[in-house]
Amino acid sequence: MLGPVVLDVEGPELTAADRARLRHPLVGMVILFARNYRSPGQLAALTAEIHALRGPSLLIAVDHEGGRVQRFREPPFTRIPPMAALGRLWDEDVLGACRVAASTGYVMASELRAHGVDLSFAPVLDLDWGRSGVIGDRALHRDARVVSLLAAQLCHGMALAGMANCGKHFPGHGWAEADSHTHEPVDPRARAAILGDDAAPYRWLGITLDSVMPAHVVYPEVDRLPAGFSRIWIERVLRGECGFTGAVFSDDLTMEGAKIAGDVVAAGQMAIDAGCDFALVCNNPAEADRLLAGLRWRSSAAFAERLARLQPRGAAPDMAALSASAAYRQARNDVLEWAKGAAATRG
């Protein structure tokens, strides 16, 4: 049985403490960071050992959006420009941007799968209001319609590689200026403004989205709690009004924006009780141990169904077979040509 806790591991190889933690029945997923990568062979060995501990259904995830949030950047991984560059391409060539978005999703997902990684927490659906430093060029565009259409193509490319997706950060982190890693952001706008603009991609994308990560942002016109701890946002708005049917991940419970919920156990319990399927705890093994010891959770048919939806589809290629694939070579060429143009534009 797998559970709702998502945690990380200490380095490029598993320690004895990592192995013991990963065997805990409440663990359902592992998230990797740049510190877990030293070489392609090492990464493949690490992911193989993680999967061997609990079987392939124990998922391995990573934040691999492109730009400054891309954990593995050295060859054979393709460097992906920030998503704002894709939005700028849209402004010049709508259909060309759609093609590049699908190719980008495919390249990103297929390269990760070739190294044993099952899920990327992408795409970002936040709008570029020009206010949030932590979002910034991670956002595709200011226009929610453009964000939705480009995100749909990114998700399509990921699906072609057999990978699920995760839209973030519901209902939107683009307006709130503070960084939830270090502060407690607040978005004071009216409910109608947030739902009509920032949250619109979650409604428009519908069943395209396999999972969603809410923001550690307080929207006081709706609830005093950050969205990831709010039944109003998760159950009433996301699942009820937007019709979302996939899994919900909390953002990292060790971030400052989660402190409003209390210690890590209280925060994890509040996230699960609010409707999150998974609770993330990163960069703090002691806090992960506390959460595993204190969280109260019972599996359900809905959880099993949502977990199954996140499983990769089809056999993962090895990198040699992937590199020989005509589809991969063409998609990668699309990305590299776009990256070259994006760099020239910045220059």
Report how far residue 267's alpha carbon sits from residue 273's, in angstroms, rounded to the nearest whole number: 10
Report how far residue 235's alpha carbon sits from residue 213's, in angstroms, rounded to the nearest whole number: 13
> Active site residue: 51, 181, 263, 289, which one?
181
Report how far residue 279's alpha carbon sits from residue 232's, in angstroms, rounded to the nearest whole number: 18
Contacts of 72 (CB under 8 A, 6+ apart): 34, 37, 43, 62, 64, 112, 115
Report how far residue 90's alpha carbon sits from residue 266's, in angstroms, rounded to the nearest whole number: 43
Catalytic residue at 64?
no
> Which residue type is seen at 50?
I
Which residues sit opposite 119 in a β-bridge? 61
Contacts of 193 (CB under 8 A, 6+ apart): none
Q: What is the DSSP string of 247-303?
A: EEB---TTSGGGGGG-SHHHHHHHHHHHT-SBEEE-S-HHHHHHHHHH------HHH
Report how far residue 330's alpha carbon sits from residue 6's, in angstroms, rounded to the nearest whole number: 34
Longest CA pairwise span in the chain (Å)? 54
Cα-trace Rg, the chain: 19
Which residues sit opposite 249 in a β-bridge? 278
> Active site residue: 63, 251, 252, 277, which one?
251
Catalytic residue at 277?
no
Measured distance between the N- and C-terminal CA atoms of the chain, rounded to whole angstroms: 52
Which residues sit opposite 218 in a β-bridge? 186, 226
Residue 124: strand, helix, or coil: strand
Catalytic residue set: 181, 251
